[in-house]
Amino acid sequence: MVRTTPGAGKMSIVTDTDLVVDTVYGPLRGTSTPSADLWLGVAYAARPTGPRRWRHAEPPRERGEVVDARNYAPVSPQPVMQVIDLGPDAFANEDCLYLNVGTPRGVAGTDAGLPVMVWVHGGAYLCGSGSQPLYDPGSLIQSSVTRGTPTIVVTFNYRMGAFGFMDLSRFSSGDHVFQANCGLSDVIAALTWVRDNIERFGGDPGNVTLFGESAGAGIVTTLLASPAAKGLFHKAIAQSSPATTVYDAERGERYANMLLAELPPEYVRAADLRRTPALDLVNASSRIFNLVPNRFPGTIAFAPVVDGDLVPLDPLEAIVTGESHRVPLLIGTNRHETSLFRWMSTPLLPVKNQGVDAMFTLIGTERPGLRVPEPEFLDSSYQHVPAGARSMAISRDIGFRMPAVWITESHAQVAPVYLYRFDWATPILRLLGYGAAHATEVPYVWGNPASSKRDPMYALGGRATGEKVRHRMQYRWLGFAADGDPNTGEDGDAIWEAYEPMRHSSLLIGGTEDTPVEGLDDTILRAWGDEVLSFR
């Protein structure tokens, strides 16, 4: 029977076949596309509803019958965000802990032992899903086959906003126990499912790369220092990680109180919280998502917290002191990260002088023992940046670039690290002043930069160059996932060497070519120093 794959954004003609894989939790029936075999909407944890709301993920129940895995599952409840396309058929439900497996054609049930890439989507810990059209795995899998390193790709949903990243643990009372970092526990549960089942799909459970972008990359860098994640992934890729956005229990409680203040009064007691309608929690999440960064510039409402369990220490401090998992790391940022936040007119990250000044004042007030660079000194260190863009550059560096550099400097002492900066922007993005904005590299990694020839991304040209960027980035990411070497293996492409602290080596990812550079971050290193600057 010929049918179309739902939720994929574009209509892919596929043919149903008897792709049944017997997992630890029971048999799954998948389907085929021209580029991959797929198993969609696979339960990797028990339903996080009722008494499991605000509890860590638990294993799914076993099923004796063959489960239909040919359709995407619900996404986590979340507000609508203009910049995030969930797909035409997406729908939300608290019962959202499902993953999707994509393999090269015909490898399931064999002993192929293929490398595995597990994707953690971004979305400010509030929005997004693993089934977004942007993350259709077809192009990445096809490129892996062409490259000669066929690879399995896994995407998944995890709990977002108040459901996954609000610490209500201090409100526990009697039989009503709430746990922190439920969203993180979901990621660990997904990785555990991969470890226990991926061999049945032709994958190697000993060669798993965890990769993500934005909040997803923040989860990657957090799990680098989580004992609970030890051995569940063997390489890591962090694209634009807000790595310093991990809070202590006090801030977690403060933001939880703000959430409770937005709920109807009949639901704020510990005994009643789990009865709160999901829509009320989504609406409250949306309100404090905007309220928190306005009241506390430089912070966001939802983030992992140091809980003494999944996150026993501040991850950056653990990485700096060598207490992270010693796995190879590919990490980087985009040249114009903060232009997206300016365009969105969101307080999520301060991009104007007043907001940046308020952020530094708040850090200095909350952490009086921390050396905060003087505004005058920072201003002098950014003289190479036009005055009108200086605050955006400072915000970019404290939010994204410096955390990446701090991690690189430390993690390179215990494992190979490859540092990059993504500089490519299509002509229309340059004309509009966005440049290489936050998340603009993601379509090239996934090979889905434009859904059609009418896509505005290429309205002023650049498609041919964009295709070259896609090819190189996919080959580099796939090479790193296969054997830890992010080089394309093709004549004429730049060699990307592991970071050496004495040389400060990076790779600039450009349009027609990539360029190895030494000392790229020397100026900002002198400005910011080597002491991690963050909220608590």
What is the rounded CA–CA span in Å between residue 420 and residue 442?
14
CATH code: domain of residue 476: 3.40.50.1820
Q: How confident is the model over 208-249, as pLDDT tens digits?
A: 999 999 999 999 999 999 999 999 999 999 999 999 999 999
Query: Is 518 annotated as catalytic?
Result: no
What is the number of domains present in the chain? 1
Whether 534 maps to a domain, the answer reads no
The three-state secondary structure class of 356 is: helix
Q: Which one from 143, 214, 339, 391 is the annotated catalytic residue? A: 214
Region 344-371: mean pLDDT is: 83
Whether 506 maps to a domain, the answer reads yes
Distances (CA, A) of 90 to 38, 71, 128, 304: 18, 11, 11, 26
Q: What is the pLDDT of residue 342?
A: 80
Q: Give the other-Cβ count within 10 Å of 493's Cβ.
A: 15
CB 445 within 8 A of CB 137: no
What is the rounded CA–CA span in Å between residue 180 and residue 309?
9
Whether 536 maps to a domain, the answer reads no
Q: How confident is the model over 515-529, as pLDDT tens digits?
A: 999 999 988 888 887
Whether 373 maps to a domain, the answer reads yes
CB 66 within 8 A of CB 13: no
Domain of residue 131, residue span: 2-528
Q: Where are the alpha helices (DSSP H) in 367-462?
A: 375-381, 390-396, 402-411, 427-431, 442-446
Per-residue pLDDT at 17 exceeds 60: no
CB 298 within 8 A of CB 362: yes
Window from 164-173, 356-365, 372-381 with minimum mean pLDDT: 372-381
E-state strands within 308-365: 329-334
Q: How confident is the model over 142-174, as pLDDT tens digits?
A: 999 999 999 999 999 999 999 999 999 999 988
Q: How confident is the model over 262-288, as pLDDT tens digits?
A: 999 999 999 999 999 999 999 999 999
Whether 535 maps to a domain, the answer reads no
Q: Which has more pLDDT, 16 or 25?
A: 25
Q: How confident is the model at residue 455 (pLDDT cuts 50, 70, 90)?
A: low
Whether 533 maps to a domain, the answer reads no
Beta partners for 37? 32, 103
CB 239 within 8 A of CB 214: yes
Q: Give the CB-side neighbour count of residue 295, counting CA atoms within 13 A.
A: 12
| Whole-model pTM over 0.75 | yes
Q: What is the pLDDT of residue 364?
A: 84
Q: Which one from 94, 199, 337, 441 is the annotated catalytic residue? A: 337
Per-residue pLDDT at 4 exceeds 50: no
Cβ burial, residue 366 (10 Å; 0-12/13-18/19+):
middle
Which residues, including other chains, have CB under 8 Å from residue 280's CB and lie 6 or more apart?
A: 263, 264, 267
Per-residue pLDDT at 15 exceeds 60: no
Q: What is the pLDDT of residue 454?
A: 59
Query: Is 214 annotated as catalytic?
Result: yes
Query: Is 504 annotated as catalytic?
Result: no
Q: Which one from 336, 411, 438, 471 is the annotated catalytic residue? A: 438
Q: Which has more pLDDT, 316 or 449?
A: 316
